[in-house]
């Protein structure tokens, strides 16, 4: 394979500044180039504020982006759209944009595949591919911002709830959060960024020390080790009580409520006993419980609860004195939960051409 030019966003700022200086370009050109990329310039040639010769030099040295969109799907009358991207090396990841009246949220991927292997999750069923680099995570956000800007909308929130376990790719994820929130880049406040983890305790502790006020979401799904060992296998290494303790220490240090995610699996984790155990675990804590109706995945033994079943479980959890909501199942038809478009594309081996 011919060697690929480096993606522009993969080049450290200092190196890019030196590269520009070597070509006699003034220092402010760096900010101009980055601003053009952030605004979704499709090619260096479209960066009209740059001299033609510099545009040509940029084009011969760099690629404007590394992610290649290879498939799209949509749901909710186009309010939810999903893009599958091919990465350098051939792995694929997905990103989902959800449009609401008052906000637009991007669900982003941090790894191709996921080594945690939760049995209800489509992503966990594929062999792990690789970690994404910070610029590959940032590029998903830049592309979503471009898509939304063309509709007169602004990307306002980012959630790390696509493919992958962000805390098994900690360094790149934190770097991408810093970039996405950088006022000279996409300028999305860390408070509007949610990092969701299956519970890698040492990284939760590390995050506390970063003083980066992101919202932490913990994928709990079970309050007792015996069940959580099965549903979220990383629990065998980081048991649930220690996990809640580490998460609450983050809540205290950041002053931000932790969001506990709970995928409702009928008859498995939606019983009165589960609600009671959850109550014991989280009562009087700075916590919010987010119940997610299971989005069915082929070849798994799980089924989603009925609408009444979900309501009943929510009432049982509320009766424990906890803050609880049922998450909007936005994007269900677009297979918007974790890893599903990927699964369909992998199965059919068909690639939908993207304009």
The catalytic residues are: 94, 338
Between residues 186 and 261, which has the closer beta carbon with respect to ligand SF4?
261
Is residue 140 involved in binding ligand SAH (CB under 6 A)? no
Q: How many residues of this chain bind ligand SAH (CB under 6 A)?
A: 17
Q: How far is the CB of 277 from ligand SAH (least distance, A)?
A: 18
161 lies in the binding site for ligand SAH (CB under 6 A): yes
Q: Quote the least distance from Cβ 223 to ligand SAH, whole Å.
A: 15
Q: Which of 44, 128, 238, 294 binds ligand SAH (CB under 6 A)?
A: 294
SS in 3 state form for the chain?
CCCCCCEHHHCCHHHHHHHHHHCCCCCHHHHHHHHHHHCCCCCHHHCCCCCHHHHHHHHHHCECCCCEEEEEEEECCCCEEEEEEECCCCCEEEEEEEECCCCEEEECCCEECCCCCCCCCCHHHCCCCEECCHHHHHHHHHHHHHHHHCCCCCCCEEEECCCCCHHHCHHHHHHHHHHHHCCCCCCCCHHHEEEEECCCHHHHHHHHHHCCCCEEEEECCCCCHHHHHHHCHHHHCCCHHHHHHHHHHHHHHHCCCEEEEEEECCCCCCCHHHHHHHHHHHCCCCEEEEEEECCCCCCCCCCCCCHHHHHHHHHHHHCCCCCEEECCCCCCCCCCCCCHHHHHHHHHCCCCCCC
CB of 262 to ligand SAH, least distance (A): 8
| Contact string 26-45 vs ligand SAH (x = CB under 6 A) | --------------------
- The verdict on 336 binding ligand SAH (CB under 6 A) reads no
Q: Can residue 247 be called a binding residue for ligand SAH (CB under 6 A)?
A: no
Residue with smaller CB distance to ligand SAH, 81 or 169: 169
Closest contact distance (angstroms) between CB of 321 and ligand SAH is 23
Q: Which is nearer to ligand SAH, 32 or 323 (CB)?
A: 323
Q: Which of 261, 270, 277, 343 is close enough to bind ligand SAH by CB under 6 A?
A: 261
Site track for ligand SAH across 198-217, x = CB under 6 A: x-------------------
Range in contact with ligand SAH (rule: CB under 6 A) among 50-58, 86-94, 222-230, 289-297? 289-297
Chain positions contacting ligand SAH, by CB under 6 A: 114, 120-121, 161, 165, 196-198, 219, 261, 263, 292, 294-295, 297, 337-338
């Amino acid at each position: 394979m011919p060697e690929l030019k480096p993606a522009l966003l993969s080049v450290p700022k200092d190196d890019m500044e030196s590269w520009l200086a070597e070509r006699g370009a003034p220092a402010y050109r760096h900010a101009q180039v980055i601003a053009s990329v952030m605004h979704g310039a499709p090619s260096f040639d479209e960066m009209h504020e740059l001299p033609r010769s510099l545009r040509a030099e940029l084009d011969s040295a760099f690629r404007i982006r590394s992610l290649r969109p290879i498939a799209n799907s949509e749901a909710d009358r186009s309010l939810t759209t999903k893009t599958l991207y091919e990465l350098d090396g051939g792995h694929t990841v997905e990103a989902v944009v959800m449009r609401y009246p008052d906000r637009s949220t991007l669900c982003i991927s941090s790894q191709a595949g996921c080594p945690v292997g939760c049995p209800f999750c489509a992503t966990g069923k594929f062999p792990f591919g690789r970690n994404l680099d910070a610029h590959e995570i940032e590029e998903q956000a830049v592309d979503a911002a471009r898509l939304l800007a063309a509709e007169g909308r602004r990307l306002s929130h980012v959630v790390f709830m696509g493919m992958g376990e962000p805390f098994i790719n900690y360094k790149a994820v934190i770097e991408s959060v810093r970039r996405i929130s950088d006022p000279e880049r996409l300028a999305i406040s860390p408070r509007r960024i949610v990092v969701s983890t299956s519970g890698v305790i040492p990284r939760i502790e590390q995050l506390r020390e970063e003083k980066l006020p992101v919202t932490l979401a913990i994928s709990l799904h079970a309050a007792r080790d015996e069940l959580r060992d099965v549903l979220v296998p990383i629990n065998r290494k980081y048991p649930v009580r220690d996990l809640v303790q580490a998460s609450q220490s983050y809540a205290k240090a950041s002053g931000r409520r932790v969001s506990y995610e709970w995928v409702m699996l009928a008859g498995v984790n939606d019983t009165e006993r589960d609600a009671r155990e959850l109550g014991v675990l989280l009562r009087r804590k700075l916590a919010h419980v987010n119940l997610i109706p299971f989005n069915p995945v082929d070849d798994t033994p799980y089924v989603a609860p009925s609408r009444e079943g979900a309501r009943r479980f929510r009432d049982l959890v509320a009766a424990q004195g906890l803050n609880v909501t049922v998450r909007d199942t936005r994007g269900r038809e677009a297979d918007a939960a974790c890893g599903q478009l990927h699964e369909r594309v992998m199965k059919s081996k068909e690639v939908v051409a993207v304009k």
